[in-house]
């Protein structure tokens, strides 16, 4: 048997935290831009499209690293339903970080809008113009954005619960900088 790893690979951790910042920024930029008519609307939309596309590319790279490095196992004493919730929510987070940019891009195409990124880069149209597709994609991009935010809040709450209450090494596995929590985990198990 291979030695069990306790941490995500440094590249995975780098991508996780870099993307966490970008995705949270995207959600805030998204709801901020659609509720303003101020001059900042134009740069916000441009950043939204550009950063969203960067997230899409990073997400694909991240998916590859996930298949390559795998993920450290969850603690053995974690109740089954919680393990399932963790796994399912991770699938959902991956689906959203790949799906949201595709929906945004396709929505622009369906409204015959040029998908122009910062620096005068144009993405090709994914779909022909169509009002019904535009409406469908708009609704998906809109409702999934709120689902994404809710999921991230739950995910962060769970991560903090592992870090502050369970001290079970789950947070350390993804910590942006190495932290010594394994010791805690071992001591905890012994104490039980």
Cα separation of 17 and 13, whole Å? Answer: 6
**Angle in degrees, 0-180, between the axes of helices 10-33 and 131-161, rounded to the nearest 10:** 130
Indicate which single residue of 145, 166, 168, 185 sits in contact with ligand HEM (rule: CB under 6 A): 145
b/e map of 116-152 (b: 16 or more CB within 10 Å)?
A: ebeeeeeeebebeeeeebbeebeebbeebbeebbeeb
Q: Where are the alpha helices (DSSP H) in 9-168?
A: 10-33, 41-69, 80-110, 131-161
Q: Which residues bind other proteins (CB under 8 A)?
A: 27-28, 31-42, 45, 111-114, 116, 120, 122, 124, 129, 131-132, 134-135, 138, 149, 153, 156-157, 160-161, 164-167, 184, 187-188, 190-192
The site partner of 95 among ligand HEM, other proteins, none (C-beta below 5 to 8 Å per kind) is: none
Per-residue contact flags (x/-) with ligand HEM for residues 35 to 64, judged by CB under 6 A? -------------xx--xx-x---------
Cα separation of 119 and 97, whole Å? Answer: 23
Indicate which single residue of 18, 20, 47, 78 sits in contact with ligand HEM (rule: CB under 6 A): 20
Q: Is 98 in the site for ligand HEM (CB under 6 A)?
A: no
The site partner of 32 among other proteins, ligand HEM, none (C-beta below 5 to 8 Å per kind) is: other proteins
């Amino acid at each position: 048997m291979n030695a069990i790893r306790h941490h995500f690979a440094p590249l995975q951790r780098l991508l996780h935290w870099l993307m966490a910042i970008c995705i949270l920024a995207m959600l805030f930029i998204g709801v901020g831009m659609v509720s303003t008519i101020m001059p900042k609307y134009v740069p916000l939309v441009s950043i939204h499209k550009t950063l969203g596309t960067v997230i899409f590319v990073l997400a694909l790279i991240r998916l590859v690293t996930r298949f390559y490095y795998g993920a450290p196992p969850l603690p053995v004493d974690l109740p089954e339903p919680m393990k399932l919730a963790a796994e399912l929510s991770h699938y959902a987070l991956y689906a959203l970080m790949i799906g949201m940019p595709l929906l945004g891009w396709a929505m622009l195409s369906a409204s015959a809008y040029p998908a122009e990124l910062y620096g005068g880069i144009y993405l090709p149209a994914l779909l022909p113009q169509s009002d019904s597709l535009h409406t469908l994609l708009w609704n998906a991009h809109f409702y999934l954005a709120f689902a994404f935010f809710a999921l991230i809040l739950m995910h962060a709450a769970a991560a903090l619960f592992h870090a502050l209450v369970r001290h079970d090494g789950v947070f350390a596995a993804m910590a942006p900088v190495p932290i010594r929590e394994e010791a805690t985990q071992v001591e905890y198990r012994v104490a039980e």
